[in-house]
Chains A and B, each alone.
Chain A
Amino acid sequence: MTVHTQAMPPQRTPRRDSLINNPTVRSTAIQVLLIVALVAFGWWIVDNTATNLRNANIASGFGFLENRAGFDIAQVPIDYTSNSTYGRAILVGIVNTIIVSVSGIVMATILGFLVGIGRLSHNFLIRGLSTVFVETFRNIPPLLVILFWYFGVLSVLGPPRNLEENIAGVYLTNRGLQVPAIVFGSSAWLPLAAFVVGLVALFVMSRRNRARQMATGERRSLVGPALGLLVGLPLVVYFVTGDPITFDAPQATRFNLVGGWQIKPEFLALFLALSIYTAAFIAEIVRAGIMAVSKGQTEAAAALGLRRGQALRLVIVPQAFRVIIPPLTSQFLNLTKNSSLGLAVGYPELVAVGNTVLNQSGQSIEVVMIWMVVYLGISILVSVGMNAFNARMALVER
């Protein structure tokens, strides 16, 4: 100990012959000891838990996933009945989590970019509204935003009874949004094929047009041919084949509207709340990213004769992306994890379904482990994808 207190310790020749003084051996030994201690600690926790569960006569293990669930789930994107297994029920929860997360991420990104750019607008009204949007929604807890949409907006809509006949067949009630379903007949592919043919023909025409413009400088409008090819041709084929596509409009019955496509209020509330809440954060990230691009770039773009929109699209945003993507990834992860708040309004995502499974089967430790593994898996997938995108967008330096 006293050696270290001296200002200049005398040069000492270490004794290489002793293993204790060998730095490689020492550090390896310490690491091995640490790993052994960690494994022993982990084993002790698992063993202690298993023993205590056994002593308390509580069943454990993942065998319960094979048992009949016995409860129904409100929104089932994959086949599920009350006769399915607990494992299947949890799978339904995972799929519902992914559905609301992916649609929320898409919506939040679009909205966030619009609002973020809006905050930098020269127009006072747009800038003001964007600021109000950001400051309102990022300062309210997401659970309150969800409850606001569910109990404050969607629940106060009227019931699906005594409805006025509605020509478009679109109904927004306290049971959700219902629109007519599109029913494809057996020859429905013909008008769709005609649409694709029209698209290809239009593409060819536009290339010829451009070549002509390059050669002669003459510009011809494509609006007429576009209408004819994309709307006229499929319509003609549609009527020639005899109405292969029909609409199934929702019909009022004693309790509910039946038929058509339905989006339930639980999903709507969660989707709207998550996308708006996260959009407020994304808007700030986008604003930061754009402001991080030096003003010289804007001026250079202007000097090249690019219009404002072009400068934004071709010069500013690609450079801003490098700043935006890493924090954007965090927001995507946040949105995915916040989807577990769907529990509060009864959207059957992973935590809500898992909660029911947990209580019906009593297997709390196992269900909590499933929750953690699934969220970790989804988050790592999002991270890996966004990191790959980030690597592609990164500045290539020579």
Chain B
Amino acid sequence: MNLKLLTAALGVTIAALAAGSASAQTLDAVKQRGSVRCGVNTGLPGFASQNDKGEWQGLDVDYCKAVAAAVFNDPTKVQYVPLSAVQRFPALQNNEIDLLARNTTWTMDRDTALGLAFAGVNYYDGQGFMVKKELGVSSAQELSGATICVQAGTTTELNLADYFSSNNLEYNPVVIEAQADVNSAYDQGRCDALTTDASGLYASRLEMGNPDDHIVLPEIISKEPLGPAVRQGDFQWFNVVKWTHNALLNAEELGITQANVEEMKNSQVPDVRRFLGLDGNFGQAIGLDNAWAINVVKAVGNYGEIFERNVGSKTPLAIQRGQNALWTDGGLQYAPPIR
């Protein structure tokens, strides 16, 4: 009896481990579970943070909601998993999350050695520096000899080393794991400058004792294309995330917003009709309902609405669209067409 139980337990364990390795059924697993497990930042205003009611909000959070809306027509069916920079990749690799939307830079190394697949770029960023105004520094080139606070295990840490050595400047790094501790070390004066992605600098500045005492220097020293990532090898799920992102961009380009998506159903424009699932079978082709794009826009709006709501000029972060404007407005955001 006991032996049988043991054999059965062993069998289940092996089956479970085997299931972990076969990774082609994320969409089925998500549907069966009834929610999308989404890895987000532990707290970065504008991208992923909890409001005073404990609800998650931010640009990355809206991507989690968009994917949930595409799959379930319900943006609340998300389990948020807050992750530090160091935790994020193992969490995705070990199947603890289905989607990593955590202001993560798309690099070649992460596409190859880490086995990730980036579904697109939801924010074009670049690394910058913030200093205290009283230092009288106006350019990163003046930072020779400075002490600089940086978060451990990020591309930021690598760019910092490259920038200073290629410009023959000296610096003393202070490397701390949690961004909150990095910020407080800088705010308390342990460091002369703080470096991270420019968007993160604006967010961190809000958390300083007196935000007006700090300025962000003009230099942008790196390319940081941030985007949602999934595991390699599951093209169906990869397509769901990639086309949710593309749908958000196409919606803005076609002028489809959260408010007008229902009236748009009367439109005779072929692009709009294909987008809304009135013509063609695009939703079913990626394993979803044909109304998937409508559901996404109804839930979170188009890309422009997400941007303005979370980081745009009317928010405390007050970030301009810049490179994140649509290609039609001189920016870099460009999505392949739905056809």
Q: Which residues of A contact B (CB under 8 A)?
A: 48, 51-52, 55-59, 64, 70-74, 81-83, 151, 155-156, 158-159, 174-175, 253-256, 258, 265-266, 343-346, 348, 352, 355-356, 358-364
Task: Report yes or no: A352 in contact with B177, Cβ–Cβ below 8 A.
Answer: yes
Residues in A neighbouring B154, C-beta threshold 8 A: 359
Task: Report yes or no: A352 in contact with B175, Cβ–Cβ below 8 A.
Answer: yes
Q: Which of B85, B145, B184 touches A151 (beta carbons < 8 Å)? A: B184
Binds A, one of B1-9, B158-166, B318-326: B158-166
Interface residue? B277 (CB, 8 A): no
Known A-B contacts A55-B233, A71-B161; A364 and B90 likewise in contact (beta carbons under 8 Å): yes
Task: Report yes or no: A359 in contact with B153, Cβ–Cβ below 8 A.
Answer: yes
Task: Report yes or no: A82 in contact with B93, Cβ–Cβ below 8 A.
Answer: no
Q: Which of A71, A151, A174, A258 touches B158 (beta carbons < 8 Å)? A: A71
Residues in A neighbouring B110, C-beta threshold 8 A: 362
Per-position binary interface string of chain B over residues 202-245, scored 1 when its CB falls under 8 Å from any chain A CB and 0 otherwise: 00000000000000000000000000000111000000000000
Q: How far is the CA of A81 from the CA of B173 in the complex (A)?
A: 12
Q: How far is the CA of A25 from the CA of B90 in the complex (A)?
A: 47
Grouping DSSP codes into helix (H, G, I), strand (E, B) and loop, the A interface class, with mixed when no group exceeds half, is loop
Residues of B93-120 contacting chain A, CB below 8 A:
93, 109-110, 112-115
Q: How far is the CA of A397 from the CA of B174 in the complex (A)?
A: 55
Task: Report yes or no: A155 in contact with B190, Cβ–Cβ below 8 A.
Answer: yes
Interface residue? B23 (CB, 8 A): yes
Residues in A neighbouring B174, C-beta threshold 8 A: 74, 266, 346
Q: How far is the CA of A348 from the CA of B145 in the complex (A)?
A: 20
Task: Report yes or no: B181 in contact with A344, Cβ–Cβ below 8 A.
Answer: yes
Given contacts A256-B145, A362-B115, 11 further A-B contacts (CB under 8 A): A58-B114, A64-B113, A255-B145, A266-B174, A344-B181, A345-B176, A346-B152, A346-B174, A355-B177, A359-B154, A362-B109
Interface residue? B280 (CB, 8 A): no
Q: How far is the CA of A83 from the CA of B161 in the complex (A)?
A: 9
Binds A, one of B14-22, B41-49, B62-70: B14-22
Residues in A neighbouring B22, C-beta threshold 8 A: 55
Q: Which residues of B contact A (CB under 8 A)?
A: 17, 20-23, 85-86, 89-90, 93, 109-110, 112-115, 135, 143, 145-147, 152-154, 157-158, 160-162, 164-165, 171-177, 181, 184-185, 188-190, 192, 231-233
A-B contacts, 13 of them at CB < 8 A, read A52-B17, A55-B21, A57-B232, A58-B115, A70-B161, A71-B161, A71-B175, A73-B175, A82-B161, A346-B181, A352-B152, A352-B177, A359-B89
Q: Which of A52, A56, A155, A265 touches B232 (beta carbons < 8 Å)? A: A56
A-B contact count (CB 8 A): 134
Residues in B neighbouring A254, C-beta threshold 8 A: 135, 145
Q: How far is the CA of A356 from the CA of B160 in the complex (A)?
A: 14
Smallest CB separation, A15 vs chain B (Å): 28
Task: Report yes or no: A360 in contact with B153, Cβ–Cβ below 8 A.
Answer: yes
Residues in B neighbouring A345, C-beta threshold 8 A: 176, 181
Smallest CB separation, A257 vs chain B (Å): 10
Q: Which residue of A lies closest to B132 (CB)?
A: A159
Task: Report yes or no: B20 in contact with A52, Cβ–Cβ below 8 A.
Answer: yes
Q: How far is the CA of A345 from the CA of B114 in the complex (A)?
A: 28
Q: Which residue of B lies closest to A362 (CB)?
A: B114
Q: How far is the CA of A151 from the CA of B187 in the complex (A)?
A: 11
Q: Which residue of B lies closest to A363 (CB)?
A: B113
Smallest CB separation, A4 vs chain B (Å): 20
Q: Which of A73, A151, A346, A359 touches B86 (beta carbons < 8 Å)? A: A359
Residues in B neighbouring A73, C-beta threshold 8 A: 173, 175
Task: Report yes or no: A359 in contact with B152, Cβ–Cβ below 8 A.
Answer: yes
Task: Report yes or no: B172 in contact with A346, Cβ–Cβ below 8 A.
Answer: no
Residues in B neighbouring A360, C-beta threshold 8 A: 153, 157-158
Q: How far is the CA of A46 from the CA of B103 in the complex (A)?
A: 33
Task: Report yes or no: A56 in contact with B172, Cβ–Cβ below 8 A.
Answer: no
Task: Report yes or no: A174 in contact with B177, Cβ–Cβ below 8 A.
Answer: no
Smallest CB separation, A258 vs chain B (Å): 7
Q: Which residue of B lies closest to A44 (CB)?
A: B14
Q: Which residue of B lies closest to A361 (CB)?
A: B113
The 4 closest A-B pairs by CB, nearest first: A359-B153, A82-B161, A57-B115, A362-B114
Task: Report yes or no: B90 in contact with A56, Cβ–Cβ below 8 A.
Answer: no
Q: How far is the CA of A72 from the CA of B160 in the complex (A)?
A: 9
Task: Report yes or no: B177 in contact with A343, Cβ–Cβ below 8 A.
Answer: yes
Q: How far is the CA of A59 from the CA of B22 in the complex (A)?
A: 17
Which of B22, B135, B172, B232 gathers the greatest number of chain A CB atoms within 10 Å?
B172
Known A-B contacts A74-B174, A256-B147, A355-B177; A155 and B188 likewise in contact (beta carbons under 8 Å): yes
Task: Report yes or no: B185 in contact with A155, Cβ–Cβ below 8 A.
Answer: yes
Smallest CB separation, A341 vs chain B (Å): 11
Q: How far is the CA of A51 from the CA of B14 in the complex (A)?
A: 13
Smallest CB separation, A236 vs chain B (Å): 41
Task: Report yes or no: A256 in contact with B233, Cβ–Cβ below 8 A.
Answer: no
Task: Report yes or no: B175 in contact with A51, Cβ–Cβ below 8 A.
Answer: no
Which of A56, A159, A265 gathers the greatest number of chain B CB atoms within 10 Å?
A56
Residues in A neighbouring B173, C-beta threshold 8 A: 72-74
Q: How far is the CA of A174 from the CA of B191 in the complex (A)?
A: 9
Q: How far is the CA of A158 from the CA of B189 in the complex (A)?
A: 8
Task: Report yes or no: A74 in contact with B89, Cβ–Cβ below 8 A.
Answer: no
Q: Which residue of A lies closest to B176 (CB)?
A: A346
Residues in A neighbouring B153, C-beta threshold 8 A: 355-356, 358-360
Task: Report yes or no: A265 in contact with B113, Cβ–Cβ below 8 A.
Answer: no
Task: Report yes or no: A58 in contact with B177, Cβ–Cβ below 8 A.
Answer: no
Task: Report yes or no: B147 in contact with A56, Cβ–Cβ below 8 A.
Answer: no
Q: Which of B89, B115, B188 touches A156 (beta carbons < 8 Å)? A: B188
Residues in B neighbouring A363, C-beta threshold 8 A: 113
Smallest CB separation, B41 vs chain A (Å): 15
Q: How far is the CA of A156 from the CA of B231 in the complex (A)?
A: 44
Q: How far is the CA of A58 from the CA of B161 in the complex (A)?
A: 26
Task: Report yes or no: A346 in contact with B175, Cβ–Cβ below 8 A.
Answer: yes
Q: How far is the CA of A22 from the CA of B85 in the complex (A)?
A: 60
Task: Report yes or no: B175 in contact with A74, Cβ–Cβ below 8 A.
Answer: yes
